């Protein structure tokens, strides 16, 4: 499966605040979430341009104060939405109703805390997490140590690199950065993003990666996106060079291509997502688990789960990213009271770039964006439902394949 932006793929967006049809009863929800708005990850941005970067208050990769507010808006909305659907009690929920598990990174733990703090104010909600510094459930690293696996994956990544056509994107980024005067150009003599070589890197126990211009581009574009969401003055976002949707989309091709190459081959995705898929499968198939589970992770978790479960290509309206900050894949188990059958419906719930940048509060009257997602092996009906039994078969087959 390819998560590249597919312009010809049109999906139906369902209204989420309409009165519930009594024929269908919501039984369970599993929310796989990306953490909220953070500072840029790369510590080497200063080497990529002679220009001065805007400063941030928080450390690299940390949830920002605004990110906490925005994630809190999501929490408050989900509390109202799930209460409307009859899945939450009017009092503080017990762990039979609501369970939270977060990765150990500051931005994931802080995001989970912000979500539950606004979803259930004055309630004592436990945020479960690993006691180790690195949680194997969320850690996006290669598990297969065989030489054959490594050779196949690297060959696949290299073939994808050859097929890219990003000269226009590189040219724009080169101009924005003044890359020829960067420290990288001066010290490493690699001065042309469009012609410098990318090298695939795959090693057991480590995240698949690239060395070269595409990794540089992804780090820079990530910084621009976070600046925009954070609400930096537009003349401080990419130094004022991103004024139109077309300019943004041209640069976003670089970020999407980077994520496609490192996460989007089926072998890599299934290998990386194996612990998380197993964790989620235990929730899906266990009748005694909580009605609502929130799993707070990263975009890498989103990409690899989407690929592993073989979702159809999708696009998100009013967004630059395919897995935006605070975005959530919401798996919903429904029951058809007429046909007496269990059903599955999946939405990608996210804030638009305007909702993020303008810090717009969410409510049932002003909801986040909902995008229906579809699995290739679970055909949906006109209401966006597919058979839960088909989903169970997918999970069981995936566990056998791995």
Does one domain contain both 320 and 261? no
Q: Would residue 153 count as lying in a domain?
A: yes
Does one domain contain both 135 and 283? yes
Does one domain contain both 216 and 260? yes
Our count of domains for the chain comes to 2
- pLDDT exceeds cutoff 90 at 3: no
What pLDDT does residue 22 have? Answer: 86
Q: What does the mean pLDDT of the chain come to?
A: 93
Q: Which of 35, 259, 298, 347 is catalytic?
A: 35
Does one domain contain both 128 and 213? no
Is residue 35 annotated as a catalytic residue, yes or no?
yes
Domain CATH for 163: 3.40.50.1240
What pLDDT does residue 265 have? Answer: 83
pTM comes to: 0.93
Q: Write down the residue that tokens 């979803």 correspond to.
A: 119
Higher pLDDT, 16 or 12: 16
Looking at the DSSP bridge assignments, the partners of residue 28 are 333
Residues whose CB falls within 8 Å of the CB of residue 1, separated by 6 or more in sequence, listed in order = 264, 266, 306, 307, 310, 311, 312, 313, 376
Per residue in 318-333, pLDDT (tens digit) is 999 999 999 999 999 9
- Give the span between the Cα atoms of 155 and 266, in whole angstroms: 13
Q: Would residue 386 count as lying in a domain?
A: no
Does one domain contain both 251 and 350? no
Per residue in 22-54, pLDDT (tens digit) is 899 999 999 999 999 999 999 999 999 999 999
Tell me phi and psi for residue 389, to 5 degrees. Answer: -60, -35
User: How far is Cα of residue 19 from the mean position of the Cα atoms in its chain?
Assistant: 29
Does one domain contain both 329 and 284? yes
Q: Could you tell me the pLDDT band of residue 271, with boundaries at 50, 70 and 90?
A: very high
Q: Would residue 1 count as lying in a domain?
A: no
- pLDDT exceeds cutoff 80 at 13: no
Does one domain contain both 293 and 328? yes
- pLDDT exceeds cutoff 50 at 352: yes
Does one domain contain both 241 and 177? yes
Q: Could you tell me the pLDDT band of residue 313, with boundaries at 50, 70 and 90?
A: very high
Handedness of CA 189, 191, 192, 196 (dihedral sign): positive
User: Which structural domain, as residue segments, surrounds residue 370?
Assistant: 24-41+64-140+270-380
Does one domain contain both 254 and 173? yes
What pLDDT does residue 293 have? Answer: 97
Does one domain contain both 161 and 256? yes
Q: Which of 196, 222, 299, 347 is catalytic?
A: 299
- pLDDT exceeds cutoff 50 at 254: yes
Higher pLDDT, 3 or 47: 47
**DSSP category for residue 238:** G
- pLDDT exceeds cutoff 50 at 14: no
Q: Could you tell me the pLDDT band of residue 4, with boundaries at 50, 70 and 90?
A: very low
- Which residue spans within 65-163 are E strands per DSSP? 98-102, 127-128
């Amino acid at each position: 499966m390819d998560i590249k932006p597919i312009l010809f793929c049109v999906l139906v967006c369902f209204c989420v605040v309409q009165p519930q049809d009594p024929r269908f009863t919501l039984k369970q929800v599993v929310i796989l979430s990306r953490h909220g708005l953070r500072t840029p990850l790369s510590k080497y941005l200063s080497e990529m341009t002679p220009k001065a970067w805007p400063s941030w208050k928080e450390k690299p990769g940390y949830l920002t104060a605004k990110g906490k507010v925005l994630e809190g808006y999501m929490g408050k909305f989900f509390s109202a939405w799930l209460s409307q659907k009859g899945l939450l009690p009017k009092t503080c929920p017990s762990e039979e109703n609501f369970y939270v598990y977060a990765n150990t990174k500051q931005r994931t733990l802080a995001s989970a805390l912000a979500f539950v703090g606004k979803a259930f104010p004055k309630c004592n909600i436990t945020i479960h997490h690993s006691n180790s510094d690195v949680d194997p459930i969320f850690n996006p690293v290669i598990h297969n140590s065989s030489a054959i696996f490594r050779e196949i994956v690297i060959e696949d990544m290299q073939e994808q690199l050859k097929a890219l056509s990003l000269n226009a994107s590189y040219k724009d980024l080169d101009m924005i950065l003044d890359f020829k005067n960067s420290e990288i150009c001066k010290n490493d003599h690699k001065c042309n993003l469009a012609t410098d070589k990318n090298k695939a890197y795959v090693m057991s126990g480590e995240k698949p990666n690239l060395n070269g211009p595409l990794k540089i581009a992804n780090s820079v574009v990530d910084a621009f996106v976070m600046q925009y969401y954070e609400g930096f003055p537009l003349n401080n976002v990419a130094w004022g060079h991103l004024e139109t949707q077309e300019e943004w989309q041209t640069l976003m091709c670089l970020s999407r291509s980077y994520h496609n190459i490192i996460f989007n081959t089926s072998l890599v995705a299934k290998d990386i997502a194996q612990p998380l898929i197993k964790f989620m499968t235990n929730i899906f198939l266990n009748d005694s688990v909580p009605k609502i589970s929130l799993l707070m992770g990263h975009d890498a978790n989103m990409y690899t789960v989407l690929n592993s479960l073989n979702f159809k290509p999708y696009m998100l309206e009013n967004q630059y990213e395919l897995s935006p900050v605070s975005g959530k894949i919401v798996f919903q188990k429904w029951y058809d009271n007429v046909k007496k059958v269990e059903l599955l419906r999946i939405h990608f719930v996210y804030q638009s770039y305007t909702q993020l940048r303008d810090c717009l509060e969410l409510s049932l009257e002003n909801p986040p964006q909902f995008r229906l997602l579809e699995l290739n092996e679970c055909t949906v009906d006109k209401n966006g439902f597919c058979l839960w039994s088909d989903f169970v078969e997918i999970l069981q087959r995936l566990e056998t394949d791995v």
